[in-house]
Amino acid sequence: MLRHAEPNDIDSIVALECAAYNVPPIFINTNLPFMKQEWVQAIKDDKVLCLDGPEGELIGAIHVSESDAAEAGPNRTLVSLMVHPEHQNGGIGGNLLRTFLGACDREGHIAALKVDPSNRGAIHLYERHDFQPLGRESDGLLCMMRNPHADDGQDFVF
C-alpha cells in the first residue's frame, strides 16, 4: 500500500535507508539523531511516500522536494528513492519512480535528481525513464533531469 509518511514512520524509514544504502553500523551509531531529524523535517516540509509490504512492513519509500529546485523553475527534485534489499529487482523502484513522474507530468514539472555516478543500477533505471545526464556537481554527484511527458494517468497525488 502506497501512503504518505507520518512522524511515527521515522524509525522504519531510517532502518530502510540504512538497509537500502548499506550504511555501516558505526555511521548509524554516531549519526542516528541527525538522520531521524532529517526525516522529521522531510515529512514536515516535503513529500515522503511509504510503500508497505503484505505484512505491513516498510519495503520502499520516496522523498520528493519542491524547495531544492525552486530557483530553476517548475521542478520537483527526487531526493531519495529506497527499496529494501530483500525486495529489490522486482519492479518496486520503477513503480515508485513512475508515481513521482506521473505527478510531475500532470503538473508540468521537470523532474530532477542527483545520483552517485558509481550507482550504475540507479542510473540505468533513471535513463529507462527518460532522465538525461546534465553533468556533475562539485560534490561529484551526477545531475539528471527529465522533461514532463503527457499525463500517463498515474493517480497518486503527492
Residue 70: per-residue pLDDT: 45
Residue 52: per-residue pLDDT: 96
Residues 88-125 pLDDT 10s: 999 999 999 999 999 999 988 999 999 999 999 999 99
Helices 25-45 + 10-20 axis angle, to 10: 130
Residues 69-78 pLDDT 10s: 445 566 899 9
Mean pLDDT over residues 82-86, rounded? 96
pTM of the predicted model, to two decimals? 0.85
How would residue 151 be classed by pLDDT, with cut points 50, 70 and 90?
A: low
- Every domain of the chain and the residues it spans: 2-146
User: Which 3 state secondary structure label does DSSP give 151?
Assistant: coil
How would residue 83 be classed by pLDDT, with cut points 50, 70 and 90?
A: very high
What whole-number percentage of the chain has pLDDT above 70? 90
CA distance 116 to 123: 8
Residue 25: per-residue pLDDT: 79
Mean pLDDT over residues 23-30, rounded? 84
Secondary-structure percent of the chain, ordered helix, strand, coil, rounded to 5: 45, 25, 30
65, 79 contact by CB (below 8 A): yes
C-alpha cell at 49: 511516500
Residues 125-142 pLDDT 10s: 999 999 999 999 999 999
| CATH, domain 2-146, list 3.60.15.10, 3.40.50.300, 2.130.10.30, 3.40.630.30 | 3.40.630.30
